[in-house]
Amino acid sequence: MKAVVTALLALVAAQVVSTVHAQDADIVLLNGKIVTLGGAAPLVEALAVRDGKIIAVGRTSEIRTLAGGNTRVIDLAGRTVIPGLIDSHMHAIRAALFYATEVNWIGTASIPEAMARIKAAQQRAKPGQWIVVAGGWTTEQFKEKRRPTQAELLAAAPDNPVYVQLFYSAALLTPAGFKALAIAADADVPPNGRIERDANGNPTGWIAGDNPTISGLFDKLPLPTFEQSVEGTKQFFRELNRLGLTGVSDPGGFNLTAESYQPLFKVWQDQALTVRVVYSLFAQRRGKELEDYQAVTQMLPMGFGNDLLRFNGIGENVAWGIYNNDNPTEAQKEQLYRIYKWAALRRMTVTQHWNSNRSAHHLLDVLERVNAETLIAPLRWSIAHMNDASPENLRRMKALGVGWLMQNAMYFNGEAFLKVRGSEAMRLTPPIMTALKLGLSVGGGTDAHRVMSYNPFVSLQWMVDGKTVGGTLTRDEEQLPSREEALRFYTLGSAWFTFDDDKRGSLERGKLADLAVLTKDYLTVPTGEIGAIESLLTMVGGRIVYAAGPYAQFDEKRP
């Protein structure tokens, strides 16, 4: 009898041990300062990951017991960990297509620094090859506070065609660029544009225009090859990982066709996607918007995809007629209503680009009309931008259950806005804390990369200190969120818009293991240094997609 009991006990013990082994964590992070944004334990020392998810958070002594022989143990040595950042409005798919073949000026502080990047690209370029800076910079970031001249550009790249875009308002080309695009007179410039001339009537090298002009010009540039775009996609997402980003919501954009999505899909199929991408469908043919949505979504239902790549409805350009139109006609509003109505009945999410608070009543009227017939709150619709939103319009959004996608446009545009609108409007732009107090759903982001840098820490710093790239203080103190509130916008806040706030955005048991170990402590570093924070180790679903410095040995890309 005793022998049987002993044998049974041995069996039970063996099972316990094997169960324990099966329960070992894949990775544990110990001895850190982990900002979980979770209700129960906002700050913990340690965390364990298994099968891509967080299985426990707590004290180092507790989490250590979850480590077995095959567990990867990462000593945080006191470093700060945050939930992976999510940009809720970034034109990431387009940025990625060109990343391997473009030059960017993000982070340059003077014209010579910017020109040095052109010169470096010129030295790598073949004769006749285009050098392209597709936006993402502003004159305010340069100490000279002005645009570069064609002479400066020519000195850096005398022979190559060069294209430098400034927002959607102007582009500078070298003479080789003008020649390659066959632009000799105003008639050769795309719609609404003209060749800029100095006081003596001589061309300056700049082409002035607006959205259609600049998109038209860009469309004339040669596209990268499929392979270059696949490579660019991998490189760009790794660059985002370097900055602690683990997710983006992509609202389509100009110069994107169905074909433009193929490199992204290839990277996803190859299991090489290192940022979670949720995307929406931008209006295609003018006047045929609804027909196009109806056709495409027959094969692309709302929510189609997986945790790494997923379809999330329509926008940010829902209908061309009301896009950037502050005075829409009744017919244009009727068309928007029909599209919204169709989307609501199809249980589809909508994200709507809208800039000006002054004209937002047109949009809100249509939203309220649809909502009176079909409740839209469960569908998590959003309005993007509207930096000067009034409390009244934010309240109307709140009543509809429509969220606000807020970006740091004022980081580049604060000085220009101040000139046009004055300090009274500026100090409330954007009204971040008003929205928070109203209980509105708010997502953080950048709108990168043509109109803004994609760096999330620059955006977080701007949220917290209200200062432009040029150092001008723009927002009232009452509109400055705390660091934790800002971080919440960039994580849980952004995750809400894609129905992901129960899966990611905070570091809690059962959530996806998306996180970043930071170079500096986001919570205590001087405010002016937040923008310079980077990630030392970024994890997406438990996979270490980026690692540097003391963690370089964990980098999956390590040669």
Nearer CB in complex with Zn ion: 118/386 = 386
Closer Cβ to Zn ion, 353 or 511, answer by number = 353
Closer residue to Zn ion, CB minimum distance, 211 or 228: 211
CA triple 91-95-101, angle to 5 deg? 170
Distance between CA 470 and CA 409 in Å, rounded?
13
Query: Which residues have CB under 8 Å from 524's CB, separation 6+?
Result: none
Compose the 394-433 pattern: x for residues touching Zn ion by CB under 5 A, - for all others.
----------------------------------------
Residue placing its CB nearer to Zn ion in the complex, 459 or 535: 459
DSSP 528: G
Q: Is 449 in the site for Zn ion (CB under 5 A)?
A: no
131 pairs with which residues across the strands? 162
DSSP assignment of 135-197: S---GGGSTT-SPPPHHHHHHH-SSS-EEEEETTTEEEE-HHHHHHTT--SGGGS-TT-EEEE
Q: How far apart are CA 309 and CA 318, in angstroms?
A: 21
State both tokens at 194.
């003209």
The minimum distance between CB 65 and Zn ion, in angstroms, equals 49
| Beta strands, E only, 241-390 | 245-250, 276-281, 309-316, 350-354, 382-385
- CA-based Rg of the chain, rounded to a whole angstrom? 25
Q: Would you tell me how many other CB atoms lie within 10 Å of the CB of residue 39?
A: 8
- Please report how close the Cβ of residue 385 comes to Zn ion at its closest, in angstroms: 6
Residue written as tokens 């041990």?
17
Q: Which is closer to Zn ion, CB of 441 or CB of 538?
A: 441
Stretch 344-373: interaction string toward Zn ion, x if CB under 5 A: ---------x--------------------
Edge-to-edge strand ranges of the sheet holding 203-208: 131-133, 162-166, 170-173, 203-208, 194-197
Q: Which is nearer to Zn ion, 353 or 450 (CB)?
A: 353
Closest to Zn ion by CB, 353 or 467? 353
Helix, strand counts (H, E) of the chain: 18, 23
Closest Cα partner for 338 from 325, 353, 324, 350?
350
Residue of minimal CB distance from Zn ion? Answer: 353
Say whether 127 sits in a helix, a strand or coil: coil
Peptide bond before 449: cis, by omega within 30 degrees of 0? yes
Comparing CB distances to Zn ion, the nearer of 231 and 316 is 316
Nearer of residues 316 and 508 to Zn ion, judged by Cβ: 316
254 vs 342, which CB is nearer to Zn ion? 254
Cα–Cα dist 363/353, whole Å: 10
Smallest separation (angstroms) from Zn ion to the CB of 289: 16
Of 399 and 416, the one with the shorter C-beta distance to Zn ion is 416
Beta carbons of 161 and 122 less than 8 angstroms apart: no
Residue 440 Cβ, how far from Zn ion at the closest point, in Å?
Answer: 18
| # chain residues binding Zn ion, by CB under 5 A | 2
- Please, which residues have CB within 8 angstroms of residue 226's CB and are 6 or more apart in sequence? 262, 263
Q: SS3 breakdown of the chain: % helix, strand, coil, rounded to 5?
A: 40, 20, 40
Provide the mask over 295-324, with x wherever binding to Zn ion is found by CB under 5 A and - wherever it is not. Answer: ---------------------x--------
What is the distance between the alpha carbons of residues 208 and 165, in angstroms, rounded to a whole number?
Answer: 10
Q: Minimum distance from CB of 447 to Zn ion (Å)?
A: 6
Residue 382 beta carbon to Zn ion: minimum distance, rounded to whole angstroms: 11
CB of 168 vs Zn ion, minimal distance in Å: 11
Q: How far is the CB of 432 from Zn ion (least distance, A)?
A: 18
Residue (316 or 500) nearer to Zn ion, CB: 316
What span, in angstroms and rounded, lies between the C-alpha atoms of 293 and 298?
8
3-class SS of residue 512: strand
Do 455 and 408 contact (CB within 8 A), yes or no?
Answer: no
> What minimum distance in Å lies between the beta carbon of 497 and Zn ion?
14
State the nearest-atom distance from the C-beta of 165 to Zn ion, in Å: 16
* Residue numbers 14-53 binding Zn ion by CB under 5 A: none
**CB of 316: closest distance to Zn ion in angstroms?**
5
Distance of closest approach, residue 262 Cβ to Zn ion, in angstroms: 23
Q: Is residue 438 classed exposed, middle or buried when 0-12, 13-18 and 19+ CB atoms within 10 A define those classes? A: middle
Instruction: State phi, psi for 27 to the nearest 5 degrees.
Output: -140, 140
Rounded least distance, CB 453 to Zn ion, Å: 16
Rank residues 354 and 522 by Cβ distance to Zn ion and give the closer one. 354
> Which residues, 115 to 154, sit near Zn ion by CB under 5 A?
none
Which positions touch Zn ion (CB under 5 A)? 316, 353
